[in-house]
Structures are given as C-alpha cells and as structure tokens.
Amino acid sequence: MSMIFGVPLAVLAGQLLIGVINGAFYALLSLGLAVIFGLLKIINFAHGAMYMLGAMSTVILFDSLGVNYWVALFLAPLLVGAVGVVIEYFLLRRIAGQDHIYSLLLTFGVALLLGGVLTNIYGVSGLRYAMPDVFQGGMKLGFMFLPYYRLWVIVMALLVCFGTWFMIEKTKLGAYLRAGTEDSQLMQGFGINVPLLISLTYGFGVMLAAFAGVLAAPIYSVTPVMGSHILITVFAVVVIGGMGSIGGAIITGILMGVIEGLTKTFYPPASSAVIFLVMVVVLMFRPSGLFGKEA
C-alpha cells in the first residue's frame, strides 16, 4: 500500500473525498448566505434552519405522502423558498434599513422557533431516510471506493453553484442583483420593483440551503438541530471568503472542506477547529476576506 507522509493513500483519499463533500455543502450554504447578504444586507441566521427544513421536509414528504427523492429535490426547495418569501415579507421587511443586529436577532429567533417546534414533534434523535436504490453501491477507483451518492452530491452541488454564479454574473437578472447590492434605491428609481426583487432573492437564497438539505437527507442524520451545527462553520466559511462575494463563497466552501478533511487525516484532534483557525488568520491579515472587496 502506497503511503504519503506516513498515511496510507486510501485513507488520505477517503478523507479528501469526505472533505470535498462537506465542502460542497459549505459552498451551497455559504453561497445562499452571500446572495442574501449582497442584496438585503442581512446576516441570515435562519439559514441553518432552512437547510434543516429542506432535509426534514424531504423525509416528512416521503413518510406521509410517499413523495420520492427526485420530486423532493425540486419540491422541498420550492416549499422552503416559499417559507423564506413569507419570512421576508412579514418579518424582515419591517426592519429593513435598521442595524444588522436586528435582522441577525430576528433570523436567529426564527431559527430557534422552527428548531423548537420540530424538536417537539420529532425529537432530536434523527429521522431515517433511505438512500434511493439507484445510488446503492459505488465504483472502485483502485486507490479508493467512491459511493455513487457521494459523487452525485458533488456533481449536483457544483452544477447548482456554477449555475448560480452564471446567473448572477452573466445575465440581466444577475445585473439587477449586482446593481441592487450597490444602490437599490437608484434601481427602484429606474422602475425596477426592488421590494419584489428582495423577496425573491431571499427566497432563492434559502432555496439553495433547502436544496443542500435534500442532498444531505440520505447521508447525514436528519434532525431539527442539524442546521445549527453546520451554520457556525458556514459563517466561518463566509467570513473567510469575504461577505457577499459569490465566487468567493463557492471556492472557499470547497477549500475549507478539503482543509478540514486533510486535518482529519494528519492531526484529527484539530479537525473541528481548523476552519476557525483559518478564519482568525484571515481576519488578522485580510479583514474583508480572501475574495471580498477591500473596504
């Protein structure tokens, strides 16, 4: 068995794969946060809860209505996106223009409420969601075994991330989003319905989180608290990448997943702290993040 720095290649490759998969989730989640922060200037603490809702609704839709994975892949994000639009319209809009701390506390409260209600109904031990049959098994790559579903997660996350990046950077709708990030009042003065754009952007941002939730359902433990665990890490990723940077969120997400995976291989005790260590270093030397614009 070949070794790299005293670690068997298969072990290293396995941890790298887990790192890339975790990174794919970080990328999807931090992308949504970046999109929301860009236009709404809201630090969306409900983002983890939206991820959780995506995963929970996938399980619940299957258990109660028999909705299969493929339908859930579209339906769950749409449902959660609609929840997001409702939250924006009835809650966030009322505190628009106030200090960041208000929206942070409000979205944190929403997250606690959703988590609390679902914990009361379903408990915290976790729901089981069966892997769709097509994804059973995997392929042998010689140096490692790659489960099909893991490959699917990586491909889907990359597709959605790239699609979102393309939409924002290269299309007319994306031009509205980019311009709105700079001066939404002037945009509205040009005749663009900015309040609607804001609702839809928030809805889209949380849809990305819910989509990550559906992808997570077959491989992670689906519980009402799953969002709060990942959220803190994702915030660190966003800070490292630079608040509001779309491309930065994607690249940093995957990079941090890989760094976490490598740390697990070479020095496991530090694996859950390494991202925060990177965050501290980045904040010291580049306070606006790796891809953020200098203030």
Partner 1 sequence: MSHRPDKEYEQLRVSGLHAFYGESHILHGIDLVVNRGELVTLLGRNGAGRSTTLKAIMNMVGRRTGSIMINGEETMSCAPHHIARLGVGYCPEHRGIFSALNVQENLTLPPVVRSGGMSLEEIYSMFPNLYERRFSQGTKLSGGEQQMLAMARILRTGANMLLLDEITEGLAPVIVEKLAEVLIKLKNKGLTIVLVEQNFHFAAPLADRHYVVEHGQIVEEISADELEAKQSLLNDYLGV
Angle of the 226-241 helix axis to the 274-285 helix axis, nearest 10? 30
- Based on the shown chain and the rule CB under 8 A, indicate whether residue 158 belongs to the binding site for partner 1: no
CB of 188 vs partner 1, minimal distance in Å? 4
Among 8, 11, 167, 178, binds partner 1 (CB under 8 A): 178
Among 69, 176, 202, 235, binds partner 1 (CB under 8 A): 176
CB of 178 vs partner 1, minimal distance in Å? 4
CB of 92 vs partner 1, minimal distance in Å? 18
What's the helix, strand, coil split of the chain in %, to 5? Answer: 75, 5, 20
Tokens 């900015």 belong to 194
Comparing CB distances to partner 1, the nearer of 182 and 294 is 182
Q: Tally Cβ neighbours within 10 Å of residue 3.
A: 10
Comparing CB distances to partner 1, the nearer of 2 and 185 is 185
Give 177's contacts (C-beta < 8 A, 6+ positions apart).
35, 38, 39, 168, 197, 201
Reduced 3-state DSSP string for 246-265: HHHHHHHHHHHHHHHHHHHH
The DSSP 8-state label assigned to residue 127 in this structure reads B
- Based on the shown chain and the rule CB under 8 A, indicate whether residue 290 belongs to the binding site for partner 1: no
Residues 56, 77, 29, 258, CA torsion sign: positive
Among 6, 66, 142, 191, binds partner 1 (CB under 8 A): 191
Contact 233, 278 (CB under 8 A): no
The number of angstroms, rounded, from the C-alpha of 83 to the middle of its chain's C-alpha atoms is 17
CB of 194 vs partner 1, minimal distance in Å? 7
- Based on the shown chain and the rule CB under 8 A, indicate whether residue 125 belongs to the binding site for partner 1: no
Among 78, 134, 155, 186, binds partner 1 (CB under 8 A): 186
Q: Tally Cβ neighbours within 10 Å of residue 56.
A: 27
Among 11, 146, 156, 179, binds partner 1 (CB under 8 A): 179
Determine the interface stretch with partner 1 among 116-124, 138-146, 192-200, 270-278 (rule: CB under 8 A): 192-200
- Based on the shown chain and the rule CB under 8 A, indicate whether residue 181 belongs to the binding site for partner 1: yes
Among 116, 137, 163, 189, binds partner 1 (CB under 8 A): 189
Return the residues of window 195-234 that contact partner 1 according to CB under 8 A: 195
Phi/psi for 139 (5° steps) reads: -120, 145
- Based on the shown chain and the rule CB under 8 A, indicate whether residue 193 belongs to the binding site for partner 1: yes
**SS3 assignment, position 4:** strand
Comparing CB distances to partner 1, the nearer of 129 and 176 is 176
Residues forming the site for partner 1 (CB under 8 A): 172, 175-176, 178-179, 181-183, 185-195
